Chain A
């Protein structure tokens, strides 16, 4: 289930190509992140699409947040229901620091602003971690839930630090860029460079940079002795005790470190939105991290990133069309918990043995046969959900129910029966097809086992 590093001998044997293989995915990821906004660039007005940039920034910072959550859940086996407090408190620290820099109280380079959030998150991670990590499993989950509710309630109560319901608003344009420092040093005109983080594009670049740094650090952390012993405490904490480690202390270190990264994400949030409100510490934010990490796959390191992309796309894309995006995410989550506890990354990993024996192409037809009833099922479900949601929420907002260009009247029988029929038919058909699929799948896995291609 867990992603393991390559065997050490391998690295030594073919250093050059191996380094390429290790670095290349990161380079590709950065290139994709930097290129995608240009697909939505409006060449006529010479402007980036604000919606796309905000969404991609959200993906970047939420990916850090979900990864930091997974440092607890996936790596250490600690299920937290209050992870957002570290994110939010990091954000609040950043907001106050930004206001301080803006007012000239102290100097701090713009590029390193998220680091303040990180230190804030680390400090609160140490404080809360000291309390929470004395316990594990369900008791830990309960403590974090209690702490989460506590901080969320405090956020509305104490005006000085949290700013009440209005939150703390800031201005990210502090004119303290590192580039300014360098330009001043060489006596160049800094203004010609134009980097002051006033435009969404510049902030997005900053988010990308920090997302890569944070992801890289977290990835490396999984390979340190601490990261390894954290995996061991997750798998069998009693044995870890026998070996001579203190699981509570390992949990504490992991908790505090994940607080650091959650704080960085919070700091980026503060930079992107220039306001930080109490909903950054609220339970819903913690739930988002949990959903993203689990849907993507808590077992593999990169799972939460996949999950975040999916959840944020649903959140920003589907929420434009439908009121029920959270329902879809919730249903997806439940389906994952029930049928694919390894998440998306787990599903992908299960295919590796079949790819190794070179028989992946035999799965194409069975997949198409499962896909058809699957699409029917989803269509029926979505239609029913949207109809229900429309009759209570949408109608009150004075909208029309449209599929493409066709206006559908939800007060007639037809769309409801259509939805229900598609749903029922899809379920029955899928059950039949999944049996066929299962048989083919088992045969292929048997073959893979026989050829020794299993991990």
Chain B
């Protein structure tokens, strides 16, 4: 019971963090058809910007400034890069963002160094909020939940209740029609791209000190965010939300469960020893396989249900 509640909370925190990243990516992907490889790089940039800003001004201004900076970077990428590549097709766009992700990683390495930077939780939030069964629940995780929940609410309201949101929703499915009605679709694209990057930056600000702020963080986070987006289904924000939470739960629960296939086989009176074929595969505990599960899910869903959990069209 203790295990379940603690893992549930941690999974929720991690899942919401994933959702902050994935929501922007899914909007960009479904609107522009661009699988943005540099999305996780914006997450990394957010963390590094926040680190530098919080050293000079403080954490709270960084919470606003870093995402804004990331948004500006995103708008620049869209206006001066992606738009140019767009005429060469989706694969060229994909390659463009891929190259961008490589460059951003190198630039981060060159600017902030190869080793992780000491980006810490702000002192004002560095206390234990409550205890469950003897396990501390830090206030910062609650803060992360709060921010991501606020953001989720803001996105949902913005997309469904505002005029701009309606235009964005329409541009997701019928860009030509929206353009014909007199809306500036390229501008909407730039706006969405910038907003998505800013969201990723915000995730970086609050996730950078929860995890580690290092140059490799984009390439460890990137694939998992892709998994979430594909798993949730293209064009579906709710699918993305469910997939994020699911992925957060899977990863946190897998870490604490120490069972292997051999344990399962024991129930069928099969004992696995070091002479059994594939004993290594059978003896690996779930806690070690945890990192693999998202990719197994990704491959499976793409093969058997390419439209994802709640997607409206195929990837």
Contact = CB atoms under 8 A, between A and B. Distances in A.
| Chain B interface size range | 35 or more
Interface stretch (B67-75, B186-194, B223-231, B241-249): B223-231
A146 B302 contact: yes
Interface in B8-22: none
Interface stretch (B82-90, B128-136, B206-214): B82-90
A334 B111 contact: no
B295 A393 contact: no
Nearest to A147: B299
A383 to B, nearest CB: 13
Nearest to B90: A138
Contacts of A154: 292
A396 B112 CA distance: 12
B149 interface: no
Given A290-B98, A294-B95, A150 B296 contact: yes
Interface string B81-106: 10011001011101110111011001
Contact of A327 (B110, B280, B302): B110
Interface in A101-137: 131, 134-135, 137
Contact of B112 (A138, A158, A392): A392
A420 interface: no
A436 B87 CA distance: 24
A139 B35 contact: no
B96 to A, nearest CB: 5
B137 interface: no
Secondary structure class of chain B's binding surface, majority of residues: helix
B92 A153 contact: no
B165 interface: no
Given A157-B288, A287-B102, A338-B85, A131 B90 contact: no
Count class of interface residues, chain A: 35 or more
A157 B84 CA distance: 42
Given A141-B35, A337-B99, A79 B230 contact: no
Contacts of A145: 223, 226
Contacts of B91: 77, 79, 137
A337 B112 CA distance: 28
A330 B99 contact: yes
> Could you say which of A149, A287, A324, A388 has the most chain B C-beta atoms within 10 Å of its C-beta?
A149
Nearest to B288: A157
A291 B96 CA distance: 11
A143 B106 contact: no
A326 B105 CA distance: 10
Interface string B232-260: 00000000000000000000000000000
Contact of B302 (A135, A159, A326, A338): A135
A291 B109 CA distance: 20
A200 to B, nearest CB: 31
Interface of B: 35, 81, 84-85, 88, 90-92, 94-96, 98-100, 102-103, 106-107, 109-114, 219, 223, 226-227, 230, 280-281, 284, 288-289, 291-292, 295-296, 298-299, 302-303, 306, 314-315
18 contacts: A131-B299, A137-B91, A138-B90, A142-B230, A142-B298, A143-B298, A146-B295, A324-B110, A326-B106, A333-B102, A334-B99, A337-B85, A337-B92, A337-B99, A338-B84, A388-B110, A388-B111, A393-B114
